[in-house]
Structure 1
Amino acid sequence: MSPIDLPEPPYTVVVFTSRLRSDLDDDARAAYDRMSARMEILASEQPGYLGVESARGDDLEGITCSYWVDDAAAVAWKQVTAHLLAQERGRQDWYADYRVRVATVTRAYGKRA
């Protein structure tokens, strides 16, 4: 995963950390991967979307950071019907554990390649 370019702060980040269920078979994992890809595309079409960074390890633990122009844009994304359905499916079928944290980024810095 390479860091994405974002505008100067402030902006909102939604940090989603999760652990997939260890009993997922190949079909369930493929369904999860398809849904994740669809949600990334759908999010990118929403007003106020700035970008996403996501990674998942072999240990089934993952992190996704989605970036939004402000809290209102992040809240609006949470309420998109297809996203609500994906959230419910995740709770029922895919996630053993997850956490969501929302914050305002006030500073950002780093090194570009």
Structure 2
Amino acid sequence: MIALTPAPPYYAVIFTSLRTDVEDGYKDTATLMVELAKTQPGYLGVESARDGVGITVSYWKSLEAIRNWKQQADHIIAQQLGREKWYAQYKTRICLVERDYGFEKE
């Protein structure tokens, strides 16, 4: 599903990853992180896809909201587990969305 974001400006956090073969707890933790993110002030939405390379884009009102999410206690634990078990490689990019546009077939 495509996230319904407000009119720009807002921020996008792009998390690109390559997984290890370890599945232990990954799916449950990923689901929990999305549910927790939704409760954070400044959260706007998320989109995610995986076909070899995983790409998750979350949308936020401000840099402060992004910093607060990065420092959320359960998210810190998930980040640590990701480095220890689930990810062979990842990169996080934080971008200011200045323009957006789209199309939706009726």
Give the TM-score taking structure 2 as reference length.
Answer: 0.95
Offset of residue 78 of structure 1? 0.3
Offset, 1:110: 1.2
Matched, 1:106 2:98: yes
Match of 1:44 among 38, 41, 50: 38
CA deviation digits over 1:50-98, x for unaligned, max 9?
00001111x2x20000000011101110000100000000000000000
**For 1:1-113, what aligned pairs fall within 5 Å after superposition?**
2-21=1-20, 23-24=21-22, 29=23, 31-57=25-51, 59=52, 61-113=53-105
Amino acid across the alignment from 2:37: A
Please list every run of at least 4 consecutive aligned residues from structure 1 whose deviation after the TM superposition is greater than 6 angstroms: none
Whole-Å Cα distance in 2 between the matches of residues 72 and 9 of structure 1? Answer: 16
Find the aligned partners of 2:61 and 2:19 in 1 and give their Cα distance: 29
Q: Deviations over 1:4-59 (max 9, x none)?
A: 211000001100000001x32xxxx25101100000000000000000001111x2
Percentage of pairs with the same residue = 46
The count of residues paired between Structure 1 and Structure 2 equals 105
- What is the Cα-based RMSD across aligned positions, in Å? 1.0
- CA distance in structure 1 between the partners assigned to 2:39 and 2:99 by the alignment: 26
Residues in 1 aligned to 2:12 and 2:2: alpha-carbon distance in whole angstroms: 14
- The residue identity in structure 1 corresponding to 2:26 is Y
Normalization by structure 1: what TM-score? 0.89
